[in-house]
Structure 1
């Protein structure tokens, strides 16, 4: 039987656009202004990172990658220590979240699902965000109380590195095949392969293309409980 449900944060628990579009655009412009790139190359780099206009594209480096992943891309065009780039990225995101709590919105149906699951499963978040940002975001969204474990890329390495899953297994004396992972990106589905099953959340039809490796796909959190029933019944 499944004993733990591990969830991604952005795009899964928390609406991606309202939380991360603006700080991603802001920090991109801030760092690009420190380069010698021409306007055409700057625009190409924005698209490479996942910024189109004033929004972040799903499954992009910004949407699915860790801060270290993002910093490594910037280090290719910036004469700046990697650690300094990471610091600028983390501070920009954290300050934005703290100052714009009204933009931190829970995905439709997520709160009801967490309330229904909390008594029967260990609930955890593993994200490619750094832990400080993750904990602040969950707190502002008023869902932090549901999670016994929050793992960030700065503590355990970015997904699909399974270190955080092994820590959950050690801490709660369960196996990886007694967990499932819920996410919205290609890397999430790869990460979920370390568990019993990966469940992809696709709130839009176009997002399904990022979830080809998913064991199950749901379009709304209302479907998560039924999917868990199917998984448990098959064991």
Structure 2
């Protein structure tokens, strides 16, 4: 694929809090499994001393995720933005820290034209870049041409760990870590415009470079 170095040719989305609503109460979940508030939930479970303890803790997480999945709805502007990107023939995928059954239920109840979905059942959870890199390989695309869109610090870190650009979706308050993202959108309707703007800028600089030659 012959692309100018900074063109966006594919988009990967986070799921919870980005494409769909989520009411997971992490404070409650952590309290139920004895995870200190400041630690990452999945990392805490992974280091529990016995398989039985890990399984019990994960069962509690799964219950919360499935209940949350039953109530999830698409966030404002998502359906329209995804439809516009599909019209532009941009490949799209989802990478979520959810487990497969919860993610599948959310997408069954709120269908989107996105076929490729990787969960923590498929690859190590973000900020590990494995899932993002797997999608770039699937698309036969260099990482720099993929934009990752998410609403949390782990999304920005996963994108940068995969040498992709990070777009932070921040619908309300701008978090302190927002300055680590390459781009910020406050509403999903801004996303197709941002991608078009980036690609037009690249085409313009490419054509002016060709003229100069």
* TM-score range relative to shorter protein: 0.7 to 0.9
Q: Assess if the C-alpha contact under 8 Å between 2:65 and 2:98 holds in 1.
A: no
The aligned counterpart of 2:3 is none
Kindly report the root-mean-square deviation, in angstroms, between the aligned alpha carbons of the 2 structures: 2.6
Q: Which runs of 5+ in 1 are unaligned?
A: 33-41, 50-60
Q: Assess if the C-alpha contact under 8 Å between 1:97 and 1:136 holds in 2.
A: no
Q: Which runs of 5+ in 2 are unaligned?
A: 1-6, 203-213
Q: Which structure has greater helix proportion?
A: 1
Question: How far is 1:28 from its partner?
Answer: 4.7
Alignment of 1:77-226 (within 5 A): 81-94=53-66, 96-97=67-68, 101=70, 103-119=71-87, 120-143=89-112, 146-193=113-160, 194-205=162-173, 207-226=174-193
Q: Could you tell me the TM-score, scaled by structure 2's length?
A: 0.79
Question: How far is 1:72 from its partner?
Answer: 4.2
Runs of 4+ residues deviating >4 angstroms: 24-30
Q: 1:232 to 1:79 in 2, by over 3 A?
A: closer
Q: Could you tell me the TM-score, scaled by structure 1's length?
A: 0.72
Give the count of matched residue pairs: 194
| Distance (Å, rounded) in 1 between the aligned partners of 2:75 and 2:183 | 19
| Distance (Å, rounded) in 2 between the aligned partners of 1:181 and 1:79 | 33
Question: How far is 1:12 from its partner?
Answer: 0.7
Q: Assess if the C-alpha contact under 8 Å between 1:186 and 1:210 holds in 2.
A: yes
Q: 1:212 to 1:114 in 2, by over 3 A?
A: same
